[in-house]
Protein backbone atom coordinates (compact mmCIF):
# COMPACT_ATOMS: atom_id res chain seq x y z
CA UNK A 1 0.00 0.00 0.00
CA UNK A 2 1.54 3.32 -1.04
CA UNK A 3 1.11 6.81 0.38
CA UNK A 4 -0.99 7.70 -2.64
CA UNK A 5 -3.43 4.84 -2.09
CA UNK A 6 -3.54 4.92 1.72
CA UNK A 7 -7.11 5.65 2.74
CA UNK A 8 -9.59 5.02 5.51
CA UNK A 9 -7.96 4.93 8.93
CA UNK A 10 -4.52 5.07 7.32
CA UNK A 11 -5.07 8.43 5.61
CA UNK A 12 -3.40 10.44 8.40
CA UNK A 13 -0.39 8.11 8.73
CA UNK A 14 1.72 10.23 6.41
CA UNK A 15 5.03 9.28 4.84
CA UNK A 16 5.01 5.72 6.23
CA UNK A 17 4.14 3.37 3.32
CA UNK A 18 6.12 0.40 4.68
CA UNK A 19 4.55 0.75 8.13
CA UNK A 20 1.04 0.97 6.69
CA UNK A 21 1.68 -2.10 4.52
CA UNK A 22 2.96 -4.10 7.51
CA UNK A 23 0.03 -3.18 9.75
CA UNK A 24 -2.58 -3.63 7.04
CA UNK A 25 -1.24 -7.12 6.35
CA UNK A 26 -1.44 -8.00 10.05
CA UNK A 27 -5.07 -6.87 10.12
CA UNK A 28 -6.00 -9.01 7.13
CA UNK A 29 -3.81 -12.08 7.70
CA UNK A 30 -3.95 -13.82 11.10
CA UNK A 31 -0.52 -15.39 10.54
CA UNK A 32 1.01 -11.91 10.38
CA UNK A 33 -0.54 -10.82 13.69
CA UNK A 34 1.16 -10.85 17.09
CA UNK A 35 0.09 -9.93 20.63
CA UNK A 36 2.41 -6.93 21.21
CA UNK A 37 3.68 -4.17 18.94
CA UNK A 38 6.22 -1.45 19.68
CA UNK A 39 5.94 1.72 17.57
CA UNK A 40 9.07 3.88 17.56
CA UNK A 41 9.99 7.03 15.70
CA UNK A 42 11.17 10.60 16.25
CA UNK A 43 8.80 13.21 17.72
CA UNK A 44 6.10 14.15 15.25
CA UNK A 45 6.52 11.02 13.13
CA UNK A 46 3.03 9.83 14.05
CA UNK A 47 3.62 6.94 16.43
CA UNK A 48 0.31 7.40 18.26
CA UNK A 49 -1.53 8.11 15.01
CA UNK A 50 -0.29 4.87 13.49
CA UNK A 51 -1.11 2.90 16.64
CA UNK A 52 -4.67 4.28 16.79
CA UNK A 53 -5.19 3.62 13.08
CA UNK A 54 -4.02 0.03 13.62
CA UNK A 55 -6.38 -0.34 16.60
CA UNK A 56 -9.28 0.95 14.50
CA UNK A 57 -8.47 -1.39 11.61
CA UNK A 58 -8.36 -4.36 14.01
CA UNK A 59 -11.87 -3.57 15.29
CA UNK A 60 -13.34 -2.68 11.87
CA UNK A 61 -15.33 -5.36 9.96
CA UNK A 62 -13.87 -3.87 6.77
CA UNK A 63 -10.28 -3.72 8.07
CA UNK A 64 -10.10 0.04 8.51
CA UNK A 65 -12.73 1.79 6.42
CA UNK A 66 -12.49 4.93 8.57
CA UNK A 67 -16.23 5.66 8.53
CA UNK A 68 -17.98 2.90 10.48
CA UNK A 69 -18.89 3.18 14.17
CA UNK A 70 -15.98 0.96 15.21
CA UNK A 71 -13.41 3.08 13.39
CA UNK A 72 -14.84 6.35 14.66
CA UNK A 73 -15.06 5.27 18.29
CA UNK A 74 -11.52 3.86 18.31
CA UNK A 75 -10.09 7.00 16.73
CA UNK A 76 -11.86 9.25 19.25
CA UNK A 77 -10.90 6.96 22.14
CA UNK A 78 -14.41 5.91 23.19
CA UNK A 79 -14.51 2.29 21.98
CA UNK A 80 -15.45 -0.18 24.71
CA UNK A 81 -12.52 -2.50 23.88
CA UNK A 82 -9.85 0.18 23.73
CA UNK A 83 -7.83 1.28 26.76
CA UNK A 84 -5.44 4.19 26.26
CA UNK A 85 -2.78 5.27 28.75
CA UNK A 86 -1.33 8.71 28.06
CA UNK A 87 0.73 9.89 30.99
CA UNK A 88 0.75 13.59 31.81
CA UNK A 89 3.56 13.15 34.30
CA UNK A 90 7.24 12.35 34.08
CA UNK A 91 6.71 8.58 34.39
CA UNK A 92 4.12 5.81 34.32
CA UNK A 93 3.65 4.46 37.81
CA UNK A 94 3.30 0.86 38.88
CA UNK A 95 -0.36 1.29 39.87
CA UNK A 96 -1.21 2.31 36.30
CA UNK A 97 0.67 -0.65 34.86
CA UNK A 98 -1.10 -3.07 37.20
CA UNK A 99 -4.45 -1.70 36.08
CA UNK A 100 -3.50 -2.28 32.45
CA UNK A 101 -2.40 -5.83 33.24
CA UNK A 102 -5.78 -6.42 34.88
CA UNK A 103 -7.69 -5.06 31.87
CA UNK A 104 -5.59 -7.26 29.57
CA UNK A 105 -7.12 -10.36 31.15
CA UNK A 106 -10.62 -9.42 29.95
CA UNK A 107 -12.14 -10.75 26.78
CA UNK A 108 -13.30 -8.13 24.29
CA UNK A 109 -16.93 -7.11 24.89
CA UNK A 110 -18.07 -5.82 21.50
CA UNK A 111 -15.18 -6.12 19.06
CA UNK A 112 -12.77 -8.86 17.99
CA UNK A 113 -9.85 -7.47 20.06
CA UNK A 114 -9.12 -6.05 23.49
CA UNK A 115 -6.65 -3.29 22.57
CA UNK A 116 -4.34 -1.63 25.10
CA UNK A 117 -2.47 1.42 23.84
CA UNK A 118 0.40 2.90 25.88
CA UNK A 119 1.44 6.15 24.22
CA UNK A 120 4.55 6.77 26.34
CA UNK A 121 6.06 3.35 26.97
CA UNK A 122 9.44 5.03 27.43
CA UNK A 123 8.07 6.54 30.65
CA UNK A 124 7.46 3.18 32.30
CA UNK A 125 9.42 2.91 35.53
CA UNK A 126 11.28 -0.34 36.10
CA UNK A 127 8.66 -1.51 38.59
CA UNK A 128 5.86 -0.55 36.21
CA UNK A 129 7.53 -2.50 33.40
CA UNK A 130 7.80 -5.51 35.69
CA UNK A 131 4.07 -5.25 36.39
CA UNK A 132 3.37 -5.49 32.64
CA UNK A 133 5.89 -8.21 31.97
CA UNK A 134 3.75 -11.20 32.92
CA UNK A 135 0.90 -9.95 30.73
CA UNK A 136 3.31 -9.75 27.78
CA UNK A 137 4.99 -13.08 28.57
CA UNK A 138 1.67 -14.93 28.89
CA UNK A 139 -0.57 -13.22 26.32
CA UNK A 140 -4.32 -13.60 26.56
CA UNK A 141 -6.07 -14.58 23.29
CA UNK A 142 -7.69 -11.60 21.54
CA UNK A 143 -5.72 -9.03 23.57
CA UNK A 144 -3.17 -6.89 21.75
CA UNK A 145 -0.70 -4.40 23.22
CA UNK A 146 0.34 -1.29 21.27
CA UNK A 147 3.31 0.50 22.84
CA UNK A 148 4.80 3.80 21.61
CA UNK A 149 8.24 5.25 22.30
CA UNK A 150 10.84 7.44 20.58
CA UNK A 151 13.33 4.57 20.10
CA UNK A 152 14.02 0.98 21.07
CA UNK A 153 16.68 2.12 23.54
CA UNK A 154 14.09 4.17 25.42
CA UNK A 155 12.12 1.04 26.34
CA UNK A 156 13.18 -1.42 29.03
CA UNK A 157 14.72 -4.46 27.33
CA UNK A 158 12.32 -6.97 28.87
CA UNK A 159 9.44 -5.10 27.24
CA UNK A 160 10.96 -4.53 23.82
CA UNK A 161 12.20 -8.12 23.54
CA UNK A 162 8.60 -9.34 23.75
CA UNK A 163 7.17 -6.92 21.17
CA UNK A 164 7.27 -6.70 17.40
CA UNK A 165 9.05 -3.52 16.35
CA UNK A 166 7.53 -1.05 13.89
CA UNK A 167 9.80 1.90 13.13
CA UNK A 168 8.37 5.14 11.77
CA UNK A 169 10.51 7.76 10.06
CA UNK A 170 10.23 11.51 9.92
CA UNK A 171 7.76 12.28 7.10
CA UNK A 172 8.78 14.58 4.28
CA UNK A 173 7.90 18.27 4.35
CA UNK A 174 5.71 17.75 1.27
CA UNK A 175 3.80 14.89 2.96
CA UNK A 176 3.11 17.03 6.03
CA UNK A 177 2.00 19.98 3.90
CA UNK A 178 -0.28 17.67 1.91
CA UNK A 179 -1.89 16.46 5.15
CA UNK A 180 -2.41 19.99 6.47
CA UNK A 181 -4.02 21.04 3.19
CA UNK A 182 -6.25 17.97 2.90
CA UNK A 183 -7.25 17.55 6.53
CA UNK A 184 -7.09 21.06 7.97
CA UNK A 185 -7.60 23.31 4.95
CA UNK A 186 -4.21 25.02 5.33
CA UNK A 187 -3.08 26.71 2.08
CA UNK A 188 -0.21 24.85 0.46
CA UNK A 189 2.37 27.65 0.75
CA UNK A 190 1.54 28.22 4.42
CA UNK A 191 1.64 24.48 5.10
CA UNK A 192 5.09 24.17 3.54
CA UNK A 193 6.51 26.96 5.71
CA UNK A 194 4.95 25.43 8.82
CA UNK A 195 6.22 21.94 7.95
CA UNK A 196 9.76 23.27 7.41
CA UNK A 197 9.69 25.24 10.68
CA UNK A 198 8.32 22.24 12.59
CA UNK A 199 10.94 19.95 11.03
CA UNK A 200 8.11 17.71 9.80
CA UNK A 201 6.54 17.34 13.26
CA UNK A 202 2.90 16.95 12.21
CA UNK A 203 1.27 18.28 15.38
CA UNK A 204 3.60 21.23 15.70
CA UNK A 205 3.24 22.07 12.00
CA UNK A 206 -0.53 22.25 12.42
CA UNK A 207 -0.14 24.54 15.40
CA UNK A 208 2.30 26.86 13.61
CA UNK A 209 0.05 27.00 10.55
CA UNK A 210 -3.05 27.94 12.56
CA UNK A 211 -1.80 29.81 15.62
CA UNK A 212 -0.29 33.25 15.10
CA UNK A 213 0.75 33.45 18.75
CA UNK A 214 2.76 30.22 18.37
CA UNK A 215 4.53 31.67 15.34
CA UNK A 216 5.27 34.82 17.32
CA UNK A 217 6.76 32.90 20.24
CA UNK A 218 8.94 30.93 17.86
CA UNK A 219 10.14 34.12 16.16
CA UNK A 220 11.04 35.59 19.57
CA UNK A 221 13.11 32.50 20.33
CA UNK A 222 14.95 32.66 17.01
CA UNK A 223 15.80 36.32 17.57
CA UNK A 224 17.89 35.30 20.56
CA UNK A 225 20.51 33.89 18.18
CA UNK A 226 23.26 36.43 17.77
CA UNK A 227 21.63 38.95 20.13
CA UNK A 228 23.28 37.87 23.40
CA UNK A 229 26.37 40.02 24.02
CA UNK A 230 26.65 40.60 27.77
CA UNK A 231 26.13 38.62 30.94
CA UNK A 232 22.96 40.62 31.50
CA UNK A 233 21.68 39.68 28.05
CA UNK A 234 22.30 36.02 28.87
CA UNK A 235 20.47 36.16 32.19
CA UNK A 236 17.48 37.97 30.66
CA UNK A 237 17.27 35.52 27.75
CA UNK A 238 17.35 32.53 30.10
CA UNK A 239 14.65 34.06 32.26
CA UNK A 240 12.57 34.79 29.16
CA UNK A 241 12.61 31.16 27.98
CA UNK A 242 11.99 29.80 31.48
CA UNK A 243 9.13 32.26 32.01
CA UNK A 244 7.57 31.32 28.66
CA UNK A 245 7.57 27.66 29.65
CA UNK A 246 5.94 28.40 33.00
CA UNK A 247 3.35 30.62 31.33
CA UNK A 248 2.37 27.97 28.77
CA UNK A 249 2.30 25.27 31.42
CA UNK A 250 0.05 27.37 33.66
CA UNK A 251 -2.26 28.34 30.79
CA UNK A 252 -2.75 24.76 29.67
CA UNK A 253 -3.19 23.40 33.19
CA UNK A 254 -5.31 25.91 35.13
CA UNK A 255 -8.72 25.04 33.72
CA UNK A 256 -7.95 21.32 33.57
CA UNK A 257 -6.69 21.27 37.16
CA UNK A 258 -9.87 22.93 38.43
CA UNK A 259 -12.05 20.50 36.48
CA UNK A 260 -10.14 17.50 37.83
CA UNK A 261 -10.46 18.79 41.41
CA UNK A 262 -14.20 19.33 41.03
CA UNK A 263 -14.67 15.88 39.50
CA UNK A 264 -12.72 14.23 42.34
CA UNK A 265 -14.80 15.99 44.98
CA UNK A 266 -17.98 14.83 43.26
CA UNK A 267 -16.71 11.24 43.16
CA UNK A 268 -15.91 11.40 46.87
CA UNK A 269 -19.26 12.99 47.70
CA UNK A 270 -17.55 16.04 49.21
CA UNK A 271 -18.85 19.59 49.28
CA UNK A 272 -16.68 21.77 46.97
CA UNK A 273 -17.69 24.88 48.93
CA UNK A 274 -16.61 23.49 52.31
CA UNK A 275 -13.74 25.36 53.97
CA UNK A 276 -12.28 22.14 55.36
CA UNK A 277 -12.54 18.58 54.06
CA UNK A 278 -12.47 15.23 55.90
CA UNK A 279 -9.05 13.54 56.17
CA UNK A 280 -9.71 10.96 53.45
CA UNK A 281 -10.74 13.74 51.03
CA UNK A 282 -7.69 15.84 51.89
CA UNK A 283 -5.37 12.91 51.19
CA UNK A 284 -7.00 12.33 47.79
CA UNK A 285 -6.75 16.04 46.96
CA UNK A 286 -3.08 16.08 47.99
CA UNK A 287 -2.37 13.13 45.67
CA UNK A 288 -4.17 14.88 42.82
CA UNK A 289 -2.23 18.11 43.37
CA UNK A 290 1.03 16.16 43.33
CA UNK A 291 0.11 14.61 39.97
CA UNK A 292 -0.87 18.01 38.60
CA UNK A 293 2.45 19.55 39.64
CA UNK A 294 4.31 16.68 37.98
CA UNK A 295 2.30 17.22 34.81
CA UNK A 296 3.04 20.95 34.87
CA UNK A 297 6.75 20.17 35.21
CA UNK A 298 6.63 17.91 32.18
CA UNK A 299 4.74 20.46 30.09
CA UNK A 300 7.22 23.16 31.04
CA UNK A 301 10.19 21.00 30.10
CA UNK A 302 8.57 20.08 26.79
CA UNK A 303 8.01 23.77 25.97
CA UNK A 304 11.64 24.59 26.78
CA UNK A 305 12.94 21.66 24.76
CA UNK A 306 10.89 22.72 21.75
CA UNK A 307 12.28 26.25 22.06
CA UNK A 308 15.82 24.89 22.19
CA UNK A 309 15.21 22.77 19.09
CA UNK A 310 13.99 25.92 17.32
CA UNK A 311 17.02 27.90 18.50
CA UNK A 312 19.43 25.20 17.35
CA UNK A 313 17.77 25.11 13.94
CA UNK A 314 18.80 28.64 13.01
CA UNK A 315 22.46 27.98 13.83
CA UNK A 316 22.14 24.80 11.76
CA UNK A 317 20.71 26.78 8.85
CA UNK A 318 23.58 29.27 9.01
CA UNK A 319 26.09 26.41 8.92
CA UNK A 320 24.27 24.78 5.99
CA UNK A 321 24.30 28.04 4.07
CA UNK A 322 27.92 28.74 4.93
CA UNK A 323 29.08 25.36 3.60
CA UNK A 324 26.95 25.58 0.47
CA UNK A 325 25.14 22.35 1.23
CA UNK A 326 22.12 21.62 -1.02
CA UNK A 327 20.01 20.78 2.06
CA UNK A 328 16.88 22.92 2.44
CA UNK A 329 16.75 25.51 5.22
CA UNK A 330 14.41 24.96 8.14
CA UNK A 331 13.81 28.66 8.72
CA UNK A 332 12.96 29.77 5.21
CA UNK A 333 10.80 32.58 6.59
CA UNK A 334 13.75 33.98 8.58
CA UNK A 335 16.35 34.18 5.82
CA UNK A 336 17.69 37.60 6.86
CA UNK A 337 18.54 36.35 10.32
CA UNK A 338 20.14 33.21 8.87
CA UNK A 339 22.22 35.39 6.55
CA UNK A 340 23.49 37.48 9.48
CA UNK A 341 24.61 34.37 11.37
CA UNK A 342 26.34 32.98 8.28
CA UNK A 343 29.13 35.54 8.68
CA UNK A 344 30.20 33.93 11.94
CA UNK A 345 33.02 31.32 11.93
CA UNK A 346 31.90 27.71 11.58
CA UNK A 347 33.52 26.91 14.94
CA UNK A 348 31.28 29.51 16.59
CA UNK A 349 28.13 28.06 15.02
CA UNK A 350 29.10 24.53 16.03
CA UNK A 351 29.90 25.71 19.55
CA UNK A 352 26.47 27.32 19.85
CA UNK A 353 24.77 24.11 18.70
CA UNK A 354 26.83 22.11 21.17
CA UNK A 355 25.85 24.45 24.03
CA UNK A 356 22.18 24.09 23.15
CA UNK A 357 22.49 20.31 22.97
CA UNK A 358 24.19 20.26 26.38
CA UNK A 359 21.35 22.31 27.87
CA UNK A 360 18.79 19.86 26.51
CA UNK A 361 20.69 16.94 28.05
CA UNK A 362 20.98 18.68 31.41
CA UNK A 363 17.27 19.50 31.58
CA UNK A 364 16.42 15.91 30.62
CA UNK A 365 18.65 14.81 33.51
CA UNK A 366 16.58 16.94 35.94
CA UNK A 367 18.91 19.92 36.22
CA UNK A 368 16.71 22.96 37.09
CA UNK A 369 15.81 24.45 33.69
CA UNK A 370 16.74 28.02 34.61
CA UNK A 371 20.26 26.99 35.64
CA UNK A 372 20.76 24.99 32.43
CA UNK A 373 19.44 27.89 30.35
CA UNK A 374 21.69 30.42 32.07
CA UNK A 375 24.78 28.32 31.40
CA UNK A 376 23.71 27.89 27.76
CA UNK A 377 23.01 31.57 27.20
CA UNK A 378 26.41 32.53 28.65
CA UNK A 379 28.01 30.17 26.12
CA UNK A 380 26.00 31.80 23.30
CA UNK A 381 27.40 35.29 23.94
CA UNK A 382 29.00 37.02 20.95
CA UNK A 383 30.77 40.29 20.25
CA UNK A 384 28.57 43.10 18.98
CA UNK A 385 28.61 43.48 15.22
How many percent of the chain have pLDDT more than 70? 95
Q: What is the pLDDT of residues 244-291, one digit of tens each?
A: 877 776 666 666 777 777 778 888 888 777 778 888 888 888 877 777
Q: Is the pLDDT of residue 2 over 60?
A: no
Q: Is the pLDDT of residue 71 over 60?
A: yes
pLDDT at 272 (0 to 100): 78
Q: Is pLDDT larger for residue 353 or for residue 125?
A: 353
Reported confidence tier of residue 294, pLDDT bands at 50, 70, 90? confident
Q: What is the pLDDT of residues 183-195, one digit of tens each?
A: 999 999 999 999 9
How many percent of the chain have pLDDT more than 90? 60
pLDDT at 144 (0 to 100): 96
Q: Is the pLDDT of residue 5 over 60?
A: no
pLDDT at 251 (0 to 100): 63
Angle at which helices 47-59 and 17-28 cross, to 10°: 20
Reported confidence tier of residue 364, pLDDT bands at 50, 70, 90? confident
pLDDT at 4 (0 to 100): 40
pLDDT at 253 (0 to 100): 64
pLDDT at 261 (0 to 100): 78
pLDDT at 113 (0 to 100): 96
* Mean pLDDT calculated for residue range 166-171: 94
Q: What is the pLDDT of residues 19-49, one digit of tens each?
A: 999 999 999 999 999 999 999 998 889 999 9
Reported confidence tier of residue 108, pLDDT bands at 50, 70, 90? very high
Amino acid sequence: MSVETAAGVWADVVGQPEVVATLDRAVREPAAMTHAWLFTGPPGSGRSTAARAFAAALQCPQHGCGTCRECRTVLDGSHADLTVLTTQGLSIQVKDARELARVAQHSPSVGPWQVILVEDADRLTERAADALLKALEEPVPRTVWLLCAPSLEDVIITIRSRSRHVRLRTPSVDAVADLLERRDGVPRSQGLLAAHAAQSHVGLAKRLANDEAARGRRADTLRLAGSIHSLGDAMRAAEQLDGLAKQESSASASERDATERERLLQQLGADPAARTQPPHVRSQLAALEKEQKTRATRIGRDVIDRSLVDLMSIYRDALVQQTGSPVELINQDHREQVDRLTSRPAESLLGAMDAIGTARERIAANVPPLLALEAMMIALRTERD
